[in-house]
């Protein structure tokens, strides 16, 4: 009886070990954390700094590239469209206003766009959901005389995971 149990256990080990190793290698090769959104272009139409208030109008072309051969399904993107626009009037800290004023005078304004998204990742019969947040850094010449500033992102700018 003990010999037949050992043979059964060895048979199971011979069957499951190659499958387990194959699955782990597949997972390591096609991990979803190698997925990065990119900003292909952006336009800063308005950027006015008055006292400690910023008025802005920003449009961004956002793309998501799946360089892996595994399907990635998009469940939720915070901007929920791939050409998001941001505009509004925001009160800011006086130190932030002073830094922005220095950037405007220097001729380059730095803007951070944060992208939050949820990915569902499926490999064979295993399904998992991942939540990611990326920071995309843009730089613009300040818009002057009602002329929009264009983001000089040649070929797209990679966003970095936070």
Averages of pLDDT over each 10 residues, the chain, 162 residues: 58 69 72 72 89 89 71 58 80 90 91 83 73 88 85 76 85
Question: What pLDDT sits at residue 103?
Answer: 92
Q: Count of residues for the chain? A: 162
Q: Domain spans of the chain? A: 1-30, 32-161
Rounded distance, CA 109 to CA 102, Å?
9
Question: What pLDDT sits at residue 89?
Answer: 92
pTM above 0.75, yes or no: no
Question: What pLDDT sits at residue 160?
Answer: 85
Question: What pLDDT sits at residue 105?
Answer: 92
DSSP of 80-137, one letter per residue? -SSS-EEEEEEE--HHHHHHHHHHHHHT-EEEEEEEEEEEEEEETTEEEEEEEEEEEE
Question: What pLDDT sits at residue 149?
Answer: 87
């Amino acid at each position: 009886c003990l010999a037949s149990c050992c043979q059964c256990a060895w048979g199971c080990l011979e069957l499951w070990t190659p499958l387990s190793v194959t699955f782990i290698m597949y997972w390591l090769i096609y991990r979803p954390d190698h997925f990065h959104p990119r900003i292909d272009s952006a336009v800063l139409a308005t950027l006015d700094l008055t006292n400690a208030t910023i008025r802005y109008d920003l449009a961004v072309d956002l793309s998501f590239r799946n360089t892996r051969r595994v399907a990635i399904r998009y469940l939720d993107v915070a901007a929920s469209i791939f050409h998001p626009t941001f505009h509004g009037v925001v009160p800011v800290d006086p130190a932030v206003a002073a830094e922005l004023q220095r950037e405007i005078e220097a001729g380059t304004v730095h803007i951070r766009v944060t992208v939050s998204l949820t990915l569902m990742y499926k490999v064979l019969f295993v399904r998992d959901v991942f939540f990611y947040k990326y920071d995309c850094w843009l730089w613009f010449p300040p818009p002057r005389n009602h002329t929009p500033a264009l983001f000089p992102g040649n070929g797209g700018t990679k966003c970095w995971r936070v």
